[in-house]
């Protein structure tokens, strides 16, 4: 008989927050959800933090997971135990959460209880939209050197300004905002346990220009992290693992920049993919990881009207399935096209996994956080692209 690891009410922790908690903790087990509006409980199965299957009535897999987001009133209990079920869900937790919230907003998911979701209103385009809110694990206060308080509307970070600081959200929520020709675009929200900034911002040798603004929503308390301690940990890593961290930072920077390109419709898919051949196809079981030596690789997501290039990778970048981070890109949610002069070496996943296992909990949490941010921002970019195609 399995022990109960977590038990509570969906009014306190919603399903999106629960998925993030189990993800950041690498939990393996079964989440059981009970609603007075359903005769049978729903179930979600997790392996090392990844959602691998779900059941809701006659539904299974992604369809069941999406349906369970409609169970907005009820009780949940998580049992830590070995999971023996088919791995039928390939989407990231963030993708499932965003898809579910969008479908709920469109009335395409049956609601089994009263629910409200925070929405943003763009006065210029007169559109109401949902943005994801990312929550992190419990904060390790030994890394916090100073606490800072901000009021509603305060700009904590200004886009285009220099900064080597990184914070963790202790209380409240902040929003990441990008300037476009059409005005400000809200990308994601960050709440308790999430990090403001990436590991690359702690490196004194780099000129770190902020790629987006960070604005307080209501009263916010941030913990300024010990950059010197983080940098010291970074310097002890192998060159290969440093590549992973820098490449993730590059992905985050590029996908954030795509918000501007999509908003201004400044994307030429044909030109970007001309002369390139496919290396990894969306939905494949290719779980290899590569370090690029020469040439260029373009990560592409298939959308309603064709291909949407997300980012371009070059020498020193990594591509493929990094086993301990789900970024919502290749291989399950995007393809990779490479240039004729492309050359890369395959990385031993067991080696990088072992190094990851020995990282401090804060370092692991920061990597998990940037993975969630990349995944969430990618979904927002795809949504902005879809909206840009709708005739006005």
Report pLDDT digits (tens) over 114-159: 433 445 555 444 455 568 888 887 788 999 999 999 999 999 999 9
Q: Minimal CA–CA distance to 383: which of 128, 113, 190?
A: 128
- Identify whether the C-beta of residue 22 lies closer than 8 Å to the C-beta of residue 46: yes
Question: What's the pLDDT band for 113 if we cut at 50, 70, 90?
Answer: low
Is the pLDDT reported for residue 377 higher than 80?
Answer: yes
State mean pLDDT over 47-52.
92
State mean pLDDT over 185-202.
88
Is the pLDDT reported for residue 255 higher than 80?
Answer: yes
Q: What is the pLDDT of residue 278?
A: 94
Q: What is the pLDDT of residue 273?
A: 87
Size of the chain, expressed as the number of residues it contains:
392
Task: Tell me if residue 185 falls in helix, strand or coil.
Answer: strand
CA pair distance 374, 252, nearest whole angstrom: 6
Is the pLDDT reported for residue 205 higher than 70?
Answer: no
Q: Minimal CA–CA distance to 385: which of 310, 328, 335, 321?
A: 310
Percentage of the chain surpassing pLDDT 90? 54
State mean pLDDT over 285-303.
93
**What does the domain layout of the chain look like in residue ranges?**
4-117, 239-357
Q: What is the pLDDT of residue 129?
A: 58
Task: Quickly count helices (H) and strands (E) in the chain.
Answer: 8, 22
State mean pLDDT over 196-204.
80
Question: What's the pLDDT band for 388 if we cut at 50, 70, 90?
Answer: low
State mean pLDDT over 27-54.
92
Most confident of 31-40, 90-99, 336-345: 336-345
Tokens 């401090």 locate to 360
Q: Please, which residues have CB within 8 angstroms of residue 217's CB and are 6 or more apart in sequence?
A: 152, 172, 173, 174, 175, 189
Phi, psi of 166 (to 5 degrees): -135, 135
Q: What is the pLDDT of residue 118?
A: 47
Q: What is the overall mean pLDDT for the chain?
A: 87
Tokens of 361: 């909990």
Q: Among 75-89, 262-276, 360-374, which is the least confidently predicted range?
A: 262-276
Phi, psi of 309 (to 5 degrees): -65, 130
What value does the CA radius of gyration of the chain take, rounded to a whole number of Å?
21
Residue bearing the bigger pLDDT, 103 or 124: 103
Q: What is the pLDDT of residue 14?
A: 87
Q: What is the pLDDT of residue 204?
A: 67
Q: Minimal CA–CA distance to 9: which of 96, 72, 100, 70?
A: 72
The CATH number that domain 239-357 falls under is: 2.60.120
Q: What is the pLDDT of residue 386?
A: 78
- Put simply, whether the predicted model's pTM sits higher than 0.85 gets the answer no
Q: What is the pLDDT of residue 116?
A: 36
Question: What's the pLDDT band for 47 if we cut at 50, 70, 90?
Answer: very high
- Identify whether the C-beta of residue 129 lies closer than 8 Å to the C-beta of residue 119: yes
CB atoms within 10 A of CB 207: 7
Question: What's the pLDDT band for 184 if we cut at 50, 70, 90?
Answer: confident
Task: Tell me if residue 225 falls in helix, strand or coil.
Answer: strand
State mean pLDDT over 77-101.
90
Q: Please, which residues have CB within 8 angstroms of residue 391's CB and are 6 or more apart in sequence?
A: none
State mean pLDDT over 312-324.
94
């Amino acid at each position: 008989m399995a022990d109960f690891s977590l038990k509570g009410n969906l009014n306190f922790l919603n399903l999106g927050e629960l998925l993030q908690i189990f993800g950041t903790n690498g939990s393996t087990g079964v989440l059981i959800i009970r609603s007075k509006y359903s005769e049978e409980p729903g179930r979600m199965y997790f392996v090392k933090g990844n959602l691998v299957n779900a059941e809701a009535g006659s539904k299974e897999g992604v369809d069941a997971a999406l349906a369970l987001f409609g169970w907005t009133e009820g009780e949940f209990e998580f049992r830590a135990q070995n999971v023996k079920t088919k791995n039928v869900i390939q989407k990231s937790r963030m993708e499932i959460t965003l898809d579910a919230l969008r479908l709920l907003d469109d009335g395409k998911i049956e609601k089994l209880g009263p629910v409200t979701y925070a929405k943003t209103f763009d006065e210029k385009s007169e559109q109401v939209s949902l943005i994801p809110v990312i929550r992190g694990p419990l904060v390790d206060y030994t890394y916090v050197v100073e606490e800072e308080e901000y009021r509603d509307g305060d700009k904590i970070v200004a886009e285009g300004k220099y900064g080597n600081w990184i914070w963790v959200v202790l209380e409240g929520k902040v929003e990441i905002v990008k300037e476009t020709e059409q005005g400000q675009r809200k990308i994601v929200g960050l709440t308790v346990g999430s990090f403001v900034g990436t590991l690359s911002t702690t490196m004194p040798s780099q000129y770190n220009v902020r790629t987006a603004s960070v604005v307080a929503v209501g009263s916010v308390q941030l913990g300024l992290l010990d950059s010197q301690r983080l940098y010291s940990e970074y310097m002890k890593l192998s060159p290969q693992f440093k590549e992973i961290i820098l490449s993730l930072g590059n992905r985050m920077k590029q996908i954030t920049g795509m918000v501007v390109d999509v908003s201004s419709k400044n994307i030429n898919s044909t030109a970007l993919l001309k002369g390139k051949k496919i290396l990894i196809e969306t939905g494949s079981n290719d779980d290899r990881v590569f370090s690029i030596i020469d040439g260029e690789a373009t990560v592409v997501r298939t959308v309603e009207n064709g291909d949407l290039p997300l980012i371009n990778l070059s020498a020193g970048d990594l591509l493929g399935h990094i086993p301990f981070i789900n970024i919502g890109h290749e291989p399950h949610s995007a393809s990779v096209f490479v240039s004729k002069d492309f050359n890369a070496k395959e990385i031993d996943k067991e080696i990088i996994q072992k190094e990851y296992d020995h990282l401090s909990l804060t370092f692991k949490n920061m990597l998990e956080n940037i993975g969630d941010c990349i995944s969430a921002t990618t979904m927002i970019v795809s949504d902005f692209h879809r909206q840009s195609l709708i005739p006005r």
